[in-house]
Amino acid sequence: MIKKFSLFFFLLTTYYLTFNTSVLAQHFSSDNYVIDWGNFNITSGNKTSSNYKLSDTVGQIAPGTYQKTGVLLKSGFQYIYDTFITFAFSIDNLDINFGILTPGIASTAVNTITISTPSGHGYQISSQESRPLSLETGITIPDTVCDNPCNESTSNTWINSSTYGFGFNASGIGASSYFANNTYFRQFANVAASPAETPQIFMSESSPVENRQSTITYKVNISPAQSAGTYHNYIVYTAVPKY
């Protein structure tokens, strides 16, 4: 019996050593690089059907979330999709033109901003102006102080036709805590002032959003004493996620 078992074992060993070759499942090499991969993925990627979406990685070693005090580890290729999350911002109209202004009659113009943020992060949008609306000679249309005092960080009502200046209003969910309604306006932070005014947040949320829109209404009202000419400045909108 022992002899038969020994012979069987000898033949089995000989067979494996003679007829089997080693398999290098995940070994890549070039003239400059050698990559040895620890596991063999059977399938992976994003799949869709009419009713379902599926993202998978099959064959992944030790996937999952692991945590110990102070350390959170997301192991596995599925977590790489977190790094693909996009932050996006757009403005629909880059050329705001009030046309010919009539003293004492306010003119307005609008554009729409749209923002999308990654999962788990809110956003904040701040604004600043390069300078007050100005002629090339330096004559300006001053920033509005509204009917009751407003500045670059605080909005207030602006309805009175004898209140002159340039300002803006923002409407939408993210702007509601900065502008009570569409009669509230404030100045843009003037970075050309001395000292330069700090860009001010006018729209923000603490939750992630997708295609959140806000309408920006620019308003200008000039006095009869305002010099004639083409006044110009530009507005910079800065969008960042919350941390």
Judge contact between 236 and 86, C-beta under 8 A.
no
The reply on whether position 207 binds another protein by CB under 8 A is yes
Instruction: Assess 243 for contact with another protein (CB under 8 A).
Output: yes
Residue 219, interface with another protein (CB under 8 A)? no
Q: Kindly state whether residue 97 participates in binding another protein, applying the rule CB under 8 A.
A: yes
**Radius of gyration of the CA atoms of the chain, in A:** 32
What is the footprint of another protein within residues 111-140 (CB under 8 A)?
A: 111, 114, 116-122, 124
Residues 125 and 113 sit within 8 Å (Cβ to Cβ): yes
Rule CB under 8 A: is residue 16 a binding residue for another protein? no
Distance CA 110, CA 220 (A): 12
Residue 79 lies near another protein (rule: CB under 8 A): no
Shortest separation between residue 186's beta carbon and another protein, angstroms: 17
153 in contact with another protein (CB under 8 A): no
Nearest to 116 by CA among 214, 208, 52, 186: 208
- Phi and psi for 175 in degrees, rounded to 5? -100, -5
Give Cα 135 to chain centroid, integer Å: 34
If one asks whether residue 75 binds another protein (CB under 8 A), the answer comes out as no
100 binds another protein (CB under 8 A): no
Q: Are 188 and 129 in contact (CB under 8 A)?
A: yes
Closer to another protein by Cβ: residue 24 or 80:
80
The amino acid sitting at 121 is H
Assess 102 for contact with another protein (CB under 8 A).
Answer: no
Does 72 participate in binding another protein (rule CB under 8 A)? yes
- Least Å distance, CB 47 to another protein, is 20
Which residue among 101, 110, 139, 240 contacts another protein (CB under 8 A)?
240
Whether 215 and 109 have beta carbons less than 8 Å apart is answered as no
Beta-ladder partners of 171: 215
Task: Between 4 and 53, name the residue whose CB sits nearer to another protein.
Answer: 53
User: Residue 238's closest CA among 209, 202, 211, 205?
Assistant: 202
Q: How many residues bind another protein (CB under 8 A)?
A: 50
Q: Give the angle 226-230-232 at the CA atoms, nearest 5°.
A: 100
Nearest CB to another protein, comparing residues 77 and 237: 237
Q: Which positions lie near another protein, rule CB under 8 A?
A: 67, 69-72, 82-97, 111, 114, 116-122, 124, 198-199, 201, 204, 206-208, 232-243
